[in-house]
Amino acid sequence: MKSSIAITGTGAVSPAGWGSPSLLAAMQAGLSLSKSEMVRELDGRKITTPVLRVPADASAAPKFPRLRRTSPISKFAAAAAMEALGQDRRTRSQNGELRIGVIFTLTNGCVNYSNRFFGEVLNDPAVASPILFPETVFNAPSSHLSAMIGSNAPNDTLVGDSTGFFTGIDLAVEWILRGDVDGCLVVAAEEIDWLSAEGLSLYSRNYLPSEGAAAIYLEPGQTDVLLHHLPDPVSLSNQDRAAASLEIRRHLGKLPSDTLLVDGTTGVNRFDRAEQSAWSDWQGLRWSPRQILGEAMGASSALQVVAAIEAIKAGISDHAAIVSTGANQQAAGMRIGR
């Protein structure tokens, strides 16, 4: 990198609760979270799927007119992003004093409103609500975020597997180094829906679908937590997941002995095998957020990153390596530290 990039803000919404402190507390406790059940009827029988939901808290989401009719994914994203940004930067952005870019990454997107809208279309197209349609598109949450902070800076939405957050960080660094923005919010979020939850069960009955959001704020500087190394991701298009995981480890380079490894394992052995093999000799401190928070798909890697940052801020370690091997796109990783 041509100049230092600092991570000066974090935000999180997860089954552990609203806010980054709740995420850190869950990781330190290492305990399973309370599950709930998603139930739907099909041909007279009930289909039940265990899930991890974000705790209901009407006061937790930021108040903003455009959020009145949004689905959970936008509310999760807004809460995480505003926590990462802080009131001072939000005010400066609204006053035109700070150019803040927004990059949003996701896998499934606004599935709740898509379900509602297309359900109405199939039932009776004449009464399908056009109010719902804008909330079905992938870039709806990122649009709300830029509106909330009054930003005219670049805004982009990236659709990919669970490693997309690393690509979002890479794009944010490019914008900052090129001078397109003064700082950049990188946000990922997902919401629970029966289709995505049951879809995960087709891969393994042991998957525990979840939801939530995570955000970081990046800007030039030498304070707080620094982004030390962000290697190019390794595509899964021409090699298997195990080889890609091992290559990412090589790209991360030699890690200090006190490094905290935050991996992408889920507790489902046949999907974890690639990362477990790549890091089989690791003897240091290790966290596996998805084994506590569930599989939040596009938000999972983002929650890993925020957990690692919060660990450094709390003095648990001065260095962290975050790695994740996606389902069908790429393996990715990064190093951060003091």
Neighbours of 57 (CB within 10 A): 11
Helix (H, G, I), strand (E, B) or coil at 21: helix
d(CA 68, CA 182): 30
pLDDT confidence band for 141 (50 / 70 / 90): very high
The answer to whether 117 and 149 are in contact (CB under 8 A) is no
pLDDT, mean of residues 311-333: 97
pLDDT score at 1: 45
Partners of 235 in beta bridges: 330
Helix (H, G, I), strand (E, B) or coil at 301: helix
The answer to whether 292 and 264 are in contact (CB under 8 A) is no
- Report whether pLDDT(276) > 90: yes
163: which 2 tokens?
Answer: 């490693």
Phi/psi for 247 (5° steps) reads -65, -40
247: which 2 tokens?
Answer: 């290559």
pLDDT score at 58: 79
pLDDT tens digit sequence for 35-53: 999 999 888 899 999 999 9
218: which 2 tokens?
Answer: 């990046």
Q: How far is CA 271 from the centre of its chain?
A: 19
- Report whether pLDDT(2) > 60: no
Tell me the range of 19-28, 133-142, 217-226 where mean pLDDT is highest. 19-28
AA letter at 159: V
Partners of 213 in beta bridges: 13, 189
- Report whether pLDDT(297) > 60: yes
pLDDT confidence band for 69 (50 / 70 / 90): confident
- Report whether pLDDT(128) > 80: no
AA letter at 240: D
Domains located in the chain, CATH noted: 5-223 (3.40.47.10), 226-337 (3.40.47.10)
pLDDT, mean of residues 285-312: 97
pLDDT, mean of residues 131-135: 79
The answer to whether 256 and 39 are in contact (CB under 8 A) is no
The structure's pTM equals 0.95
Helix (H, G, I), strand (E, B) or coil at 49: strand
Lowest mean pLDDT among 41-45, 96-100, 226-230, 281-285: 41-45
